[in-house]
């Protein structure tokens, strides 16, 4: 049985999705695994205070990166997939738009960043923030070009090279200068190497790039891209507002503790993001075929929920031993934040896929209220909850807003996808069985790594006993799918 029945979805389309997913997952998993090594090492070496300063700087860079994109990368993927003949024109014009926005944001950060940032040590690192978000933003645009070409292998290799370079340079920097500034300097070098790693294989696409600039479509790009840019801004605001508000109202230690809880969960958020990215070009192409579009969506949402529920419940049950294992006793105060953030996966995973489907459909009017709920809701709840609950208040704010966004996303899907969450009961039930088993093993004193492994086995065994169709379908694809190879010139 094919994961995507041939009646609705062609075999080449299925192979394309599987290949894209394989490349994106391999690139992100390997890359993030490499970065996790230096993150854990740096958190221990720098201590909560210095680690908090570095986390604050990276949060600023991430916020500026999304602001600089204004949705043009997502638009390039959509239009490049739908209209290959116009890809060069959209690439050239998008690049010019992005360079102008980068220049404006860089000047703003240099001249006004110091007045906004309340932590003096972080304010001194504003020039490094500018370099990081410029390199990352340009890499995002080049990666978007690769996706529009269905060349996720380029993006995957770029992710591995980027993160490997960050690890190498950060380790070197920490050896000579175990400070937040040293760590940030190593990060800059790694992001530059990452930009070059995705730019080089696509260098021919950039030949005579500015000659294809079309000022007539600048307005079209901005009008079409702003909804997705707004949602991307909402995502980065919700991820980084907690850290930024803590930096204003709390201390660098609070920022360090919350960042420690947040980092593993942010890594988990990559699962739906990668699956959605792998599906997106095909969904954009199939938008005029309602049956095919619906089939793609249902299969994708079930795939993300296969991960969402066990990760959320298992992470919540094992929060204390996981934090202690990863960071040590110094970060035990972040356990409750980690527990609450794990529960957000139940809402974040399907929401990511839903927003991609809505964007592919072209329903622009949905995004403004969606982003408004996320941005204002998170900021207001942070302000209200942090004074009373501390860093756990940040996590509670995120959980409340993500659940609201999930409900709004279901409402927005009316008329786009019929019964978007049907057929998930086996996954939910198996996840509760798994969480119960994990709790029992933890009470018995079983090692946390062994507990996680045994719980995962129990989860998949429960799915098989309950005859969850997705398990058989995924196993069938794995048997038929070869490791993707690339003919890219490097």
Task: Encode pLDDT of 357-413 as tens digits.
Answer: 777 766 666 667 777 787 788 888 888 888 888 888 888 998 998 899 888 888 887
Tokens encoding 381: 């709840």
Sign of CA dihedral 157, 159, 162, 164: negative
Give the pLDDT of residue 322: 92
212 versus 451: the higher-pLDDT residue is: 451
Give the C-alpha distances (Å, rounded to integers) separating 137 from 102, 106, 127. 8, 12, 16
Give the domain ranges of the chain. 11-422, 423-483
459 — pLDDT class (breaks 50, 70, 90): very high
Average pLDDT, stretch 102-120?
77
Tokens encoding 446: 């079983």
23 versus 177: the higher-pLDDT residue is: 177
Give the pLDDT of residue 4: 38
Give the pLDDT of residue 490: 25
Task: Encode pLDDT of 123-175 as tens digits.
Answer: 778 888 888 888 988 888 888 888 777 777 788 888 888 888 888 898 888 88
Give the pLDDT of residue 154: 84
Count CA atoms closer than 13 A to 56's CA, side-chain side. Answer: 33
Average pLDDT, stretch 425-448?
92
Task: Encode pLDDT of 261-286 as tens digits.
Answer: 888 887 788 778 777 777 776 777 76
Average pLDDT, stretch 212-226?
71
**3-class secondary structure for the chain?**
CCCCCCCCCCHHHHHHHHHHHHHHHHHHHHHHHHHHHHHHHHHHHHHHHHHHHHHHHHHHHHHHHHHHHCCHHHHHHHHHHHCHHHHHHHHHHHHHHHHHHHHHHHHHHHHHHHHHCCCHHHHCCHHHHHHHHHHHHHHHHHHHHHHHCCCHHHHHHHHHHHHHHHHHHHHHHHHHCCCHHHHHHHHHHHHHHHHHHHHHHHHHHHCCHHHHCCHHHHHHHHHHHHHHHHHHHHHHHHHHHHHHHHHHHCCHHHHHHHHHHHHHHHHHCHHHHHHHHHHHHHHHHCCCCHHHHHHHHHHHHHHHHHHHHHHHHHHHHCHHHHHHHHHCHHHHHHHHHHHHHHHCHHHHHHHHHHHHHHHHHCCHHHHHHHHHHHHHHHHHHHHHHHHHHCHHHHHHHHHHHHHHHHHHHHHHCCCCCCCCCCCCHHHHHHHHHHHHHHHHHHHCCCCHHHHHHHHHHHHHHHHHHCCCHHHHHHHHHHHHCCCCCCCCCC
Task: Encode pLDDT of 91-101 as tens digits.
Answer: 888 888 888 88
Give the pLDDT of residue 343: 94
Count CA atoms closer than 13 A to 181's CA, side-chain side. Answer: 9
Report the candidate in 217, 442, 213, 238 with the shortest Cα–Cα distance to residue 351: 238
Report the candidate in 104, 381, 71 with the shortest Cα–Cα distance to residue 230: 71
Average pLDDT for the chain: 77
Longest dimension (CA), the chain: 68
Helix axes 270-285, 345-361, angle to 10 degrees: 20
pLDDT at 12 exceeding the cut of 70:
no
479 — pLDDT class (breaks 50, 70, 90): very low
Instruction: Using CA atoms of 238, 240, 243, 247 in order, give the dihedral in degrees to the nearest 10.
Output: -110
Give the pLDDT of residue 28: 63
The CA distance from 167 to 177, in Å, is 15
> To the nearest whole percent, how much of the chain has pLDDT over 90?
14
6 — pLDDT class (breaks 50, 70, 90): very low
Give the pLDDT of residue 489: 28
pTM equals: 0.62
pLDDT at 457 exceeding the cut of 90:
yes
Task: Average the pLDDT over each of 105-109, 302-306, 410-414 and give the range with the smallest value.
Answer: 410-414
Task: Encode pLDDT of 324-367 as tens digits.
Answer: 888 877 788 889 999 999 999 999 888 887 877 777 766 666 66
Give the pLDDT of residue 145: 83
Give the pLDDT of residue 129: 82
The CA distance from 52 to 261, in Å, is 12
Give the pLDDT of residue 225: 63
The CA distance from 153 to 280, in Å, is 16
Give the C-alpha distances (Å, rounded to integers) separating 98 from 60, 81, 198. 18, 20, 17
């Amino acid at each position: 049985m094919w994961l995507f029945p041939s009646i609705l979805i062609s075999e080449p389309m299925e192979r394309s999705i599987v290949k894209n997913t394989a490349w994106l997952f391999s690139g992100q998993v390997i890359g993030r695994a490499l970065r996790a090594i230096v993150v854990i090492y740096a958190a221990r070496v720098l201590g909560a205070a210095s680690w908090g300063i570095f986390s604050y700087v990276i949060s600023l860079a991430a916020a500026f990166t999304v602001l600089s994109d204004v949705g043009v990368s997502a638009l390039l993927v959509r239009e490049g997939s739908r209209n290959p003949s116009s890809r060069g024109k959209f690439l050239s014009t998008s690049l010019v738009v992005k360079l102008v926005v980068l220049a404006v944001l860089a000047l703003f950060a240099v001249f006004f960043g110091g007045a906004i940032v309340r932590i003096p040590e972080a304010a001194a690192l504003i020039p490094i923030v500018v370099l990081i978000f410029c390199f990352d933003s340009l890499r995002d645009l080049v990666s978007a070009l690769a996706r529009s070409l269905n060349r996720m292998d380029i993006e995957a290799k770029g992710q591995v090279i980027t993160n490997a370079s960050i690890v190498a340079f950060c380790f070197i920097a920490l050896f000579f200068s175990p400070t937040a500034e040293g760590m940030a300097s190593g990060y800059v070098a790694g992001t530059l190497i990452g930009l070059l790693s995705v730019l080089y294989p696509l260098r021919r696409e950039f030949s005579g790039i500015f000659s294809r600039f079309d000022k007539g479509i600048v307005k079209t790009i901005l009008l079409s891209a702003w909804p997705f840019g707004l949602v991307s801004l909402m995502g980065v605001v919700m991820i980084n507002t907690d850290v930024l508000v803590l930096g204003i109202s709390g201390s660098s230690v609070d920022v360090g503790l919350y960042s420690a809880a947040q980092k593993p969960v942010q890594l988990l958020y990559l699962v739906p993001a990668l699956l959605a990215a792998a599906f997106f070009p095909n969904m954009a192409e199939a938008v005029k075929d309602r049956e095919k579009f619906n089939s793609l969506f249902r299969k994708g949402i079930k795939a993300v929920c296969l991960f969402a529920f066990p990760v959320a419940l298992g992470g919540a049950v094992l929060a204390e031993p996981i934090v202690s294992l990863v960071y040590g006793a110094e970060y035990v105060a972040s356990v409750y934040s980690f527990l609450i953030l794990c529960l957000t996966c139940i809402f974040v995973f399907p929401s990511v896929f839903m927003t991609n489907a809505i964007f592919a459909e072209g329903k622009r009017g949905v995004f403004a209220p969606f982003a408004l709920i996320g941005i204002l809701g998170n900021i207001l709840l942070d302000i209200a909850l942090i004074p009373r609950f501390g860093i756990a208040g940040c996590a509670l704010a995120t959980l409340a807003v993500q659940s609201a966004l999930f409900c709004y996303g279901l409402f927005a899907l009316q008329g786009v996808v019929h019964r978007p969450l049907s057929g998930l009961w086996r996954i939910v039930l198996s996840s509760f069985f798994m969480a119960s088993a994990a709790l029992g093993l933890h009470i018995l004193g079983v090692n946390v790594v062994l507990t996680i492994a045994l719980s995962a086995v129990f989860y998949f065994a429960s799915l098989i006993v309950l005859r969850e169709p997705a398990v058989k379908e995924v196993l069938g694809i794995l048997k038929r799918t070869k490791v993707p190879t690339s003919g890219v010139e490097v």
